[in-house]
Structure 1
Amino acid sequence: MHNFDYGKIEKAITMILEAIGEDPKREGLVETPKRVAKMYAEMFEGLNKDPKDYFKTVFNENHNEVVLVKDIPFHSMCEHHLVPFFGHAHIAYIPRNGVVAGLSKLARAVETTARRPQLQERITSTVANAMMEMLDPVGVFVVIEAEHMCMTMRGIRKPGSKTMTMSARGIYEEDAEKRSEILTLINMT
């Protein structure tokens, strides 16, 4: 990962362990700073990627009806507490002039956007904006539902609570009936 300083992370984790009263030389903790640095490199690999890149290659399939990919799993790190949040994204769009993206590209855009210190609201709008800019669809609708460890492990401590965010663009922003239709499709099992 470009600009990723493993040594600095290892030092910081050692300092955190010392600050909480732990012994970083204890058998179970000796390798922890290295493990955390490697984990952070993976968790934050999206910092140097642009989700728009996944929509550079498109196909002309003469399909002008709804495309919906549901239940795209993702995990991210809350930028306020650096603890995980995770859940599922649902992405719908209506192609313009039959121009479609590969289905896996929708999942990759979510994953790239999520793999950085993040807010759920920002993931939702970033994916919607990238699709609007690169695919020029009739409309895009992104729904994300996630459980935030900053709410379940600390603070209010409400395990199982879910946060939902939505971003509507194009026809989904303008037409309440279209929004309602896509929400019904998303909620079908």
Structure 2
Amino acid sequence: MDASAKLNVAKSLPKKPFARPSREEAEAAVRTLIAWAGDDPTREGLLDTPRRVTKAYGEFFSGYDDDPGTILSTTFKEAGGYDDIVLVKDIPFSSHCEHHMVPFVGKAHIAYLPHDGIVGISKLARLVEAFSRRLQVQEVLTAQIIDAVNEHLNPRGAAVLLEAEHMCMSMRGVRAHGATTVTQRFSGVFAEEKSEQDRFFEMIRRR
């Protein structure tokens, strides 16, 4: 079973219900981690850290409350006959590896060939943010972005490329500072015609 099939299977599985902890419980967990790391959570410099961490987590993982369908719900049918590539490149994003809960940071490039209309270009950046502000792996993040574009915009084709540095690899383990991970997915015309892929890559490189 390929990665796309596994992802679709995972999407179809019912989510197990769970109780979201209270802020107080989350702050207590942070104090436990501080103590486990070897420091004193009651010392002056750390007294307010649990509150700050839970507030930061609310920002880091705000994507769980975002609906990709809502983000891409407004399209414009009147595009003046434009039917060529729409590319938004160098979209900055930051996410957190679901294996170590440390950041990976990079940029996304999204292109599509309009069919049923166009979407506001800022919405593509919002789409990246919605999926990246969750616990992620880059391969799944790439697939989620292109799947959402295909589902909600119904383009003739779409292309997504992500490049990022993973702190779980540069800060720990092999400590490979500066190593970049690149993932890509194509659909429709981009998947069928190499010339369209080549145009996508050329447009990304163009400054």
TM-score of the two chains, using structure 1 as the length reference: 0.95
> Is residue 2:137 matched to residue 1:119?
yes
Q: Structure 2: give runs of 5+ residues left out of the alignment.
A: 1-18
| 3-state DSSP of counterpart to 1:64 | coil
Change (3 A) 1:135 1:4: farther
Contact 1:52 1:109 (8 Å CA) reproduced: no
**Count of residues in correspondence between the two structures:** 187
Alignment of 1:1-189 (within 5 A): 3=20, 5-60=22-77, 61=79, 62-97=81-116, 99-189=117-207
Q: Structure 1: give runs of 5+ residues left out of the alignment.
A: none
One-letter identity of the residue aligned with 1:52: G
Contact 1:94 1:139 (8 Å CA) reproduced: yes
One-letter identity of the residue aligned with 1:95: P
Cα distance in structure 2, aligned partners of 1:77 and 1:4:
20
Instruction: Give the root-mean-square deviation of aligned CA atoms.
Output: 1.3
Contact 1:85 1:146 (8 Å CA) reproduced: yes
Cα distance in structure 1, aligned partners of 2:20 and 2:76:
35
How many Å apart are 1:8 and its aligned residue?
1.8
How many Å apart are 1:3 and its aligned residue?
4.3
Identity over aligned residues, as a percent? 44
How many Å apart are 1:43 and its aligned residue?
0.6
TM-score of the two chains, using structure 2 as the length reference: 0.87
